[in-house]
Structure 1
Amino acid sequence: MPLFTEQNEWRFWDQSLSAKNKSALESFAADDLLCELVGSGASIPTIRTWVHDETVVLGIQDHRLPHIDEANQLLKERGFTPIVRNSGGLAVVLDAGVLNISVVVSEEESAIDIPEGYEMMLELVRNLFPEAEIDAYEIVGSYCPGSYDLSIGGRKFAGISQRRIRKGIAVQVYLCVEGSGSERAELIRDFYETGLQNEETKFSYPTIKPETMASLSELLEKEITVAEVVIDLYNLLDNPQLKPLQPEEAERYGYYLERVVERNAKMLRAT
């Protein structure tokens, strides 16, 4: 019972251009805000698209690597800014060729379990790329592996996460649309090798095999752009309401932004 096709009315907030040179922390704050608004009924269900320049979003376990300072320095030397996310998972790469989509729905009237949220996003991505045979299972050797890794022919191009606040659920997917998936994986491989330096740890970090990852452009053997996918997503919806952040929502957004910025600073200091 997918939720994506069942929902007829959508708010659409496109930040695929406007967020590029901003911190990805702003996007996590935006999704937290939308969870509150949608969960309380102050906003209809919302789809938000977002793109950020070179950033590596770390999970909570990543910042516990024994040599995390050196690993973060490696990212900075490669031109990437490390931040710590406020949802589950491990390190992922953001850049101009990676499109992130957040689908925010409410469970105020009926509960939505975690697998149902994942299935909703899987349905959306399959609708975006009907010509592809998209599978959902863990791709061993990819970065941020999980049971809902999205792949074509055994090579991963996307991963899904969820964030739940005040009856609102943000289901987030990163789509590697342009560029080289294996080059992004090489960066994360080097990050873990630098962060571990062959030390034993209680947590089992993934062993990255770059060949397990690719972009949609590579997998579908045609040039696909982030801008095209955003347009295709908009056209999938039935006359969505184009509605970015509203003045009356700015104060609550400021609250969530301050919270994620402080949390990120605390996490990075803890290393």
Structure 2
Amino acid sequence: MEQHLSLLRQDEWRIIDHSSLGPQFDAKQSFAIDDTLCTFVGKGASSPVARSWVHHDTIVLGIQDTRVPHLQDGVRYLQQQGYRVIVRNSGGLAVVLDEGVLNLSLILPESDKGIDINRGYDAMWELIRVMFNEYNKDIEAYEIVGSYCPGSYDLSINGQKFAGISQRRLRNGVAVQIYLCITGSGAKRAEVIKGFYEHAIKGEETKFTYPTIKPETMASLNELLNANLTVQDVMLKLLTTLKELSGRIYSEGLLQEEYETYEKNFIRMMERNEKTFKDLT
């Protein structure tokens, strides 16, 4: 455990809270911001960053998701359910974001005590375990078959997944990202992704094996803990935990130089999405 905590024990954490920017905050902005912060943390121009973000009614597709045989039908289905659809610039598969899903990014320098892939995942897993240790629940990390965006670091309680972790490495920076389903129904979110694959694949054979979604494999933290947590409650847990583990936390938005890099990254995200969806009407 101590080895996992060592990445969390920074001299200081820079906090960037984007959890309450509202429905106009576009998920493409978040991926561009994390890439920007990777660059600046990676070259030592910023302290390690803990960033929180929430996006309303958005489905984030992975690159593989855009290679389904009937992407147009899948996207149309999601739009009919009231979701915006974007494609991210990294691996993984489709996930649901809404106001009950808190995303956290820990952005660290690659040189920091040699961060191999599993070490980054383990640090995020340990952070979540510490944040919720008062509930005395065993939070496990292994692939939950039947969940959306399955991976070896799915976080679950009693076999039901409430979070997934991913990583992005860029210019000597590492962004370890997690989505935490806090409120609402995990199964209902899974039904949406299940519907996407049904409309986008239509039972055809594909080179890539997409997950067969079983909604009952997913739940929110409130469902699993029998709690009534809000996103802001969990934000407070995050800040308290980082303060306990490190010397100092401080809040600071994007600086001018960072903002200029962000604008370039955001244009790249916009162009990627326009290219992906340009033939869809």
Q: Same fold (TM over 0.5)?
A: yes
Distance in structure 1 (CA, Å) of the matches to 2:97 and 2:24: 12
2:175 pairs with 1:170? yes
The aligned residue for residue 70 of structure 1 is: 73
Distance in structure 2 (CA, Å) of the matches to 1:169 and 1:20: 27
Distance in structure 2 (CA, Å) of the matches to 1:162 and 1:270: 30
Paired residues for 1:77-226 under 5 Å: 77-108=80-111, 110-130=113-133, 131=135, 132-226=137-231
Cα distance, 1:218 vs structure 2 = 0.2
The aligned residue for residue 33 of structure 1 is: 36
2:61 pairs with 1:55? no
Distance in structure 1 (CA, Å) of the matches to 2:160 and 2:11: 32
Q: Is the 1:56–1:91 Cα contact (8 Å) retained in structure 2?
A: yes
CA spacing shift, 1:113–1:66, aligned 2, 3 Å: same
Cα distance, 1:236 vs structure 2 = 1.3
Q: Is the 1:185–1:210 Cα contact (8 Å) retained in structure 2?
A: yes
Distance in structure 2 (CA, Å) of the matches to 1:270 and 1:48: 34
Q: Is the 2:37–2:258 Cα contact (8 Å) retained in structure 1?
A: no
Distance in structure 1 (CA, Å) of the matches to 2:90 and 2:188: 25
Q: Deviations over 1:45-90 (max 9, x none)?
A: 0000000000000011111110110000000000001110111100
Q: Deviations over 1:144-177 (max 9, x none)?
A: 0000000000000000000111000000000000
Cα distance, 1:6 vs structure 2 = 2.7
Distance in structure 1 (CA, Å) of the matches to 2:241 and 2:279: 43
More off after superposition, 209-218 vs 124-133: 124-133
2:257 pairs with 1:248? yes
Counterpart code for 2:16? W
2:18 to 12, 15, 21: 15
Q: Is the 1:4–1:121 Cα contact (8 Å) retained in structure 2?
A: no
Distance in structure 2 (CA, Å) of the matches to 1:119 and 1:104: 14
Counterpart code for 1:240? I
More off after superposition, 189-198 vs 103-112: 103-112
Cα distance, 1:248 vs structure 2 = 3.2
Distance in structure 2 (CA, Å) of the matches to 1:137 and 1:77: 33
Consecutive unaligned residues of structure 1, counting only runs of 5 or more, are none
More off after superposition, 49-58 vs 109-118: 109-118
The aligned residue for residue 230 of structure 1 is: 235
DSSP 3-state at the match of 1:83: strand
CA spacing shift, 1:20–1:232, aligned 2, 3 Å: farther
Cα distance, 1:267 vs structure 2 = 2.0
Counterpart code for 1:171? V
DSSP 3-state at the match of 2:12: coil
DSSP 3-state at the match of 2:15: strand
2:256 pairs with 1:266? no
Counterpart code for 2:271? E
DSSP 3-state at the match of 2:59: strand
DSSP 3-state at the match of 2:219: coil
Distance in structure 1 (CA, Å) of the matches to 2:267 and 2:188: 33
Count of residue pairs brought into register by the alignment: 271
Distance in structure 2 (CA, Å) of the matches to 1:270 and 1:153: 43
Cα distance, 1:246 vs structure 2 = 1.9
Q: Deviations over 1:232-271 (max 9, x none)?
A: 1111122311011123321111111111111122122367
Counterpart code for 1:105? L
Distance in structure 2 (CA, Å) of the matches to 1:19 and 1:164: 28
Cα distance, 1:20 vs structure 2 = 4.1
Consecutive unaligned residues of structure 2, counting only runs of 5 or more, are none
Counterpart code for 1:255? K
Percent identity between the aligned chains?
Answer: 54
Q: Is the 1:40–1:108 Cα contact (8 Å) retained in structure 2?
A: no
Distance in structure 2 (CA, Å) of the matches to 1:42 and 1:182: 42
